[in-house]
Amino acid sequence: MSSFKDLRIVDNFYQTSSFFPMPTTLVGTVSENGKTNLGAYSLCFPYYIAGKEYYAMILECRNSSNTAQNILRGSKVSLNFIPDDRKYFREAVRLGFPGETTDEKMKNCLFTLEDGQAEGERPKVLKEAFQVFECTWDSSLEDAHLDKAGCLEGYEAPYRNFNGITSKFGAHFILKIDKILMKEKYYNSIVDGVSAKNFPPVPVDYGYRDSTNFWCSRFKKPFPEKIQAKEGDFDSVKYAAKRIDPNVTFTDEACAKLTKIPRIFLKAALSQMVSIAKEEGISVIDEAALQIINDKRRKEKK
């Protein structure tokens, strides 16, 4: 006998039929009068993460919202990740209430707006955020550029499958990440090594809501769990290293230090090392060369 009950799946299932942890973001767009509009969204997730010519997020929203209409009209977006603070979450809930104009909702806004760093006319970013993604909607995908702003009572078919107007009342936007902006403390954390002490206070917004409340959890200091890496076979690493590039070789000592790389990632990792070695004029990758390569990778991360 199952230990679960079968719950009916209905519209907005992530809110009405489940408990779903999500990010807490304020999405900035440019309104018709050129002002920054902020809308609260949690349906915002990584989309293209590797193997494409760019990286991207996906934003899901009501197509008649200020945010959706502004994206259809102007394409530029800022994704502002706000830290755990009760007054910030209260303000995010207020900014998420539908039906107000940009001037109405942004009057006496709690947050401080400042210029971002990406080029062009863009929405401002939140000074209080711990990180910001400055993005551009890729309207070329699925011919979504044909979708226009102006329909506030719902759009008629045909609909896009994943980008643009996807239903009578819904929209999906594939947002190319132009820049990731990080407060200095957390920038240093990522570059120099993350620990529980220098982890940003990231709140979790829970999808479930009723007619009265949104729900959010307070940030607690995260705890690390060591990756139980399975060391690969030395001979397998050596075999793969010999076949990456005839002009760059790996010493046995270097191969021995690479046995913890998961086999599925080994070829890509070795290829990247060879690419950096060539840039540095290195033809034999030994332990000293590995240090140079790792230093170069850290600098590129900065």
Q: Which of 130-134, 211-215, 273-277 has the highest mean pLDDT?
A: 130-134
Contacts of 173 (CB under 8 A, 6+ apart): 58, 59, 61, 68, 71, 77, 137, 163, 164
- Lowest-confidence range among 179-188, 274-283, 291-300? 291-300
**What is the pLDDT, as a whole number, of residue 228?**
64
- Residue 177 near residue 135 (C-beta atoms within 8 A): yes
Q: How large is the greatest C-alpha to C-alpha distance in the chain, in angstroms? A: 67
Average pLDDT over residues 200-205: 90
Average predicted confidence (pLDDT) for the chain? 91
Residue 161 corresponds to which tokens in the numbers above?
A: 């499958």
CA distance 69 to 66: 5
Contacts of 289 (CB under 8 A, 6+ apart): 254, 277, 280, 282
CB atoms within 10 A of CB 168: 13
Residue 4 corresponds to which tokens in the numbers above?
A: 């679960």
pLDDT reading at 216 higher than 90: no
**What is the pLDDT, as a whole number, of residue 230?**
61
pLDDT reading at 266 higher than 70: yes
Question: Does 53 or 222 have the greater pLDDT score?
Answer: 53
* Confidence tier at 207 by pLDDT (50, 70, 90): low
* Confidence tier at 41 by pLDDT (50, 70, 90): very high
Reduced 3-state DSSP string for the chain: CCCCCCCCCCCCHHHHCCCCEECCEEEEEECCCCCEEEEEECCEEEEECCCCCCCEEEEEEECCCHHHHHHHHHCEEEEEECCCCHHHHHHHHHHCCCCCCHHHHHCCCCCCEECCCCCCCCCCEECCCCEEEEEEECCCHHHHHHCCCCCCCCCCCCCCCCCEECCCCEEEEEEEEEEEEECHHHHHHHHHCCCHHHCCCCCEEECCCCCCCCEEECCCCCCCCCCCCCCCCHHHHHHHHHCCCCCCEECHHHHHCCCCCCHHHHHHHHHHHHHHHHHCCCCEECHHHHHHHHHHHHHHHC
> pLDDT tens across 62-81, in order?
999 999 999 999 999 999 99
Amino acid in position 56: A
* Confidence tier at 231 by pLDDT (50, 70, 90): low
**What is the pLDDT, as a whole number, of residue 108?**
92
pLDDT reading at 232 higher than 80: no
* Confidence tier at 102 by pLDDT (50, 70, 90): very high
pLDDT reading at 1 higher than 60: yes
* Confidence tier at 218 by pLDDT (50, 70, 90): confident
pLDDT reading at 209 higher than 70: no
Contacts of 251 (CB under 8 A, 6+ apart): 284, 285, 286, 287
Q: Which of 166-170, 188-192, 226-230 has the highest mean pLDDT?
A: 166-170
**What is the pLDDT, as a whole number, of residue 229?**
57
- Lowest-confidence range among 141-155, 176-190, 230-244? 230-244
CA distance 56 to 50: 9
